Amino acid sequence: MKQLDTYKNFLNGRYLNEGIRITAGILLPALLMSYFHMLEQGIIISLGALCVSVTDSPGPIRHRSNGMIACVFLITMVAVLVYFIAAFSLFLALLIFVFGFLFSMLSIYGARSSSVGIAALLIMILSLQTPVHGMQIWYHALYIFTGGCWYFLFSMLLYTIRPYKIIQQVLGDFIIDISDYLKTRGSFYKQDPEYEKTYQQLLQLQVKVQSQQSLLSDMLFKTRTIIKESTHTGRVLVKLYVDMAELFESIMTAFQDYKVLHKQFDDTGILEEYGNHIVALSAELNAVGLSVKSGLASKASGENLYAIKNIRQHFEQLRQHYMSDKNVDQFISLGRIQTNLQHLTEKIDSLHHYTSYDKRIKKASATSIDYSNYGEKQDIRPAIFFNNLNFKSNIFRHALRVAFALLLGYIISVAFHIGHNYWILLTIVVILKPAYSLTKKRNSDRLIGTFLGIFIGIAVMFFIKDKTVLLVIMIIFMASSYAFMRTSYFISVLMMTPYLVIFFHLLYPSSLQILLTDRIIDTVIGSGIAFMASIFFVPAWEHSSIKNYMLAMLDANQRYYEMLTRSFINSEPVSAADFKNIRRDILTSLANVSDAFNRMLSEPKRYQKGIEAIHRFVVLNHILTSHFAALAYYLNVRKNPFRSKDFEAVLRDTTVHFSNAAHYLNEEEAAVVLPARDSLDALNQHAALLLEKRRTELALGQLETETKDSLVQVKSVTDQFNYIYNISADISRCCKQMNA
């Protein structure tokens, strides 16, 4: 069943759809022009389409179109300049260096601008393949411009035909990623759970979920046809996204002290039931995601609703016969898990209704949403470019590495008269990334994928001689390569190499051996240059930049915690806009610091400075975010009425820990202040009195009393504040250790 789901996920996913779209957009001009015996011109047109396809990534349609239009004009201009200067080696070397730097710097404006810069570098490199002169320069530029315009119109046409398909595919991925996150959280309920391994998996999944959520926010709330027009499909997609975002936050509130729970309840079997039920909920959520991607309605089986009733009965039986005055506080935690699972089960069961796009889904459920609170605006001021022209900027360092690596690659290719020298530069561009870990992985993927791909290509041509069949196989390899371009670079290279081998065999059958030799030599040289540049030329190791992510995390923690605590002090309602913005900031910060830590793990050991303290910091902040989510849940969903002025002192002392952590990271130990240790005493004393009263009632056999309800409300909130205070102190110690 799992393999079948994987198969369905791939077939209905955006990556296969993207691979087919790009393949068709690139091949059609060449095939059409070859019909009129103008294959050479068709290939140049296809090059223009290829470069523009690099910028055609998911996002708001306005951003996609603006990116492709900018790319069309930029690649045309670059091609003209390269053609004019190609005859002068010295000036061409200077141009390669300048363009390598400038176009790599575009990544400071976000992923789409970065892809425009990569497209410009690609056309610069590919234009070196066939130097032209005179009027041919303008003809070639016109062909490239035509290819870019063709791909833009082709992509927009497909979007017009199926405007919601890409959103459904991304939303389906978002739901499936949340399903994986939920399933991983279920591992805590197994006997003898591997805590460190599970935390590491959760951190990686957190990055994936946050990435999908940011992309969806942009696509849904910056697309005019969805937020302005009264389209039923758009309303359903918005409602489903909002419900999934709330569901994810609800999943994050489920964190408990699992070690204590296992010690107390392992013999009862209820924790194992919880774990099995979470796995079942994950499977049902995965089914919803697949249905959203495919556009087909799914049906709830009802089994999980039946199962949660049985689990509830088991919980009540434990309350009747197992709960005592000695373990009542652990039962409060168990009750929170039970309530959360009940909510998750009902919510997931109701999600199936959206996949039918039933007309009875109310308009107000989507139109009442404040769209301004979702997604972030990309700042494109020129000042940002100039502010990054210093060695503190990782983008600046990366741009310099790319520029010098391209220059070195060009000098080597000219000095040693290497055939197809543009392949060296092409290898450098696709391998060299801002992070060492990404460059290292791409390097190995490129080398191994190229060698295996050449073997596959030669094997295919050995057994198949028919040119028509070879052409079909080449198209399949090409589509597969683009389908895996964003998910698995190794498979992409593995598919791309045989496609190029067959292409050159069909185009230049007598020169195939020379082409293959050049391909291997150029790939090895380009990979070597890229790898050496990432290590030795103004390298940007994560230990030098991760502090910035940690400081942003601490700032988001402090702002979010203060807003939540104020609500428990004065009962004033939280501003929905402020709440959503800060919540988005804290999730983004957590994803950024987790991602940076994962990249750091792939760096050489000697550069993993303070790795243990950073790992502890990331794990603690992941747990802390769960406790924040729990407090928000009590405010917004459970409407917990418990309020107290005693939270004022707790707020003061906890924020001191956050401030101290920032002082340690900034090496400002003189500013560190020792917080008071008794700020939680008043709150805990109130909870302790209720707990003692409840224990007395239980000793008398009184299960349902007013004290029970008051204790659950008070202890649910005070436990979270105790956890947060202790974790903030641990975070401060981590930062002190890292600074040391």
* Cβ(667)–Cβ(592) below 8 Å: no
Contact status, residue 331 vs residue 264, Cβ threshold 8 Å? no
* Number of residues in the chain: 740
Which positions ≥6 away from 471 have C-beta within 8 Å? Answer: 502, 506
Largest CA distance in the chain: 101
Higher local confidence (pLDDT), 457 or 583: 457
Alpha carbon distance 78, 92 (integer Å): 12
The tens digit of pLDDT for each residue in 236-272 reads: 888 888 888 888 878 877 677 788 888 888 888 888 9
Q: Stretch 444-464: mean pLDDT, rounded?
A: 89
Q: Determine what percent of the chain is predicted with pLDDT higher than 70.
A: 92
Contact between residue 355 and residue 298 where contact means Cβ atoms under 8 Å apart? yes
In the structure, what pLDDT confidence band is assigned to residue 364 with cuts at 50, 70 and 90?
very low
Collapsed DSSP state (helix, strand, coil) of residue 134: coil
Q: Which of 112-121, 295-304, 345-354, 611-620 has the highest mean pLDDT?
A: 112-121
Tokens standing for residue 708: 């029970």
DSSP for 392-450? Answer: T-HHHHHHHHHHHHHHHHHHHHHHTT-TTTHHHHHHHHHH--SSHHHHHHHHHHHHHHH
- pLDDT tens by residue, 10-27: 778 788 888 899 999 999
- Three-state SS across 27-50? HHHHHHHHHCCCHHHHHHHHHHHH
**Predicted local confidence at residue 251, as pLDDT:** 84
Query: What confidence score (pLDDT) does residue 368 get?
Result: 44
Check pLDDT > 80 for residue 697: no
Are 198 and 182 within 8 A, CB to CB?
Answer: no
Answer yes or no: is pLDDT of 225 > 90.
no
- Distance between CA atoms of residues 583 and 226, nearest Å: 24
Question: Which range has the worst mean pLDDT, 639-643, 654-658, 719-723?
Answer: 639-643
Q: 106-143 pLDDT, tens per residue?
A: 988 888 899 999 999 999 998 887 778 889 999 999 99
Other CB atoms closer than 10 Å to residue 616's CB: what's the count?
18
The pLDDT, as a whole number, for residue 277 is 92
pLDDT band at residue 223 under the 50/70/90 scheme: low
Q: Tell me whether residue 722 is exposed, middle or buried, using C-beta atoms within 10 angstroms of its C-beta: 0 to 12, 13 to 18, 19 or more.
A: middle
Give me the mean pLDDT over the 199-211 stretch: 83
Rounded distance between C-alpha atoms, residue 2 and residue 251, angstroms: 23
Q: What integer pLDDT is reported at residue 151 of this predicted model?
A: 96
Helix (H) or strand (E) holding 585: helix 576-601
Backbone CA torsion sign across 358, 360, 364, 367: positive
Closest CA to 522 of 128, 140, 22: 128
Closest CA to 81 of 103, 101, 100, 96: 96
Condensed to tens digits (0 to 9), the pLDDT of residues 146-180 reads 999 999 999 999 988 888 888 899 999 999 999 99
Question: Using CA atoms, how far apart are residues 309 and 269, in angstroms rounded to an integer?
Answer: 16
Cβ contacts of 393 within 8 Å, gap of 6 or more: 108
Residue 151, C-beta contacts closer than 8 angstroms, at least 6 positions apart: 25, 26, 48, 49, 52, 53, 56, 68
- How large is the average pLDDT for residues 330-335? 79
DSSP at 191:
S
Calpha distance 332→634 (Å, rounded):
15
**Cβ neighbours around 260 below 10 Å, total:** 12
pLDDT digit string (tens) for 470-519?
889 999 999 999 888 888 889 998 998 898 888 888 877 767 778 788 88
pTM for the full predicted model: 0.85
Token reading at 7: 């198969």
How sure is the predictor about 366, in pLDDT bands with cuts at 50, 70 and 90?
A: very low
Q: What pLDDT does residue 370 have?
A: 44
- The C-alpha atoms of residue 455 and residue 493 are separated, in whole angstroms, by 13
Q: Assess whether pLDDT exceeds 70 at residue 320.
A: yes
With left for phi above 0 and alpha for psi between -120 and 50, is residue 573 left, alpha or beta? beta
Mean pLDDT of 514-530: 87
Domains of the chain, start order: 1-161 (no CATH), 167-367 (1.20.58.220), 388-539 (no CATH), 542-739 (1.20.58)
Please report the pLDDT score of residue 363 as a whole number.
52
Q: Crossing angle of helices 270-294/303-321, nearest 10°?
A: 160
Query: Helix (H, G, I), strand (E, B), or coil: what is residue 358?
Result: coil
φ/ψ of 577, rounded to 5, equals: -65, -50
DSSP type of residue 355: G
Q: What is the pLDDT of residue 365?
A: 46
**Which residues, other chains included, contact 728 with Cβ-Cβ below 8 Å and sequence gap of 6+?**
557, 624, 654, 657, 658, 661
**Greatest mean pLDDT among 108-122, 228-242, 363-377:** 108-122
Whole-angstrom distance, CA of residue 490 vs CA of residue 430? 12
What integer pLDDT is reported at residue 298 of this predicted model?
82
| Residue 226, pLDDT score | 55
119 close to 55: Cβ distance less than 8 angstroms: yes
Residue type, 625: T
Average pLDDT, the chain: 84
Highest mean pLDDT among 8-17, 93-102, 354-363: 93-102
Q: Is the pLDDT of residue 367 over 50?
A: no
Helix %, strand %, coil % for the chain, to 5?
A: 80, 0, 20
Mapping DSSP onto H, E and C, the string for 213-244 reads HHHHHHHHHCCHHHHCCCCHHHHHHHHHHHHH
Q: Contact 141/79 with Cβ under 8 angstroms?
A: yes
Give Cα 178 distance to the centre of its chain. 12
Distance between CA 587 and CA 601 in Å, rounded?
Answer: 21
pLDDT for res 252: 77
Distances (CA, A) of 566 to 27, 100, 644: 60, 51, 10
Give Cβ neighbours of residue 197 (< 8 Å, ≥ 6 apart).
Answer: none
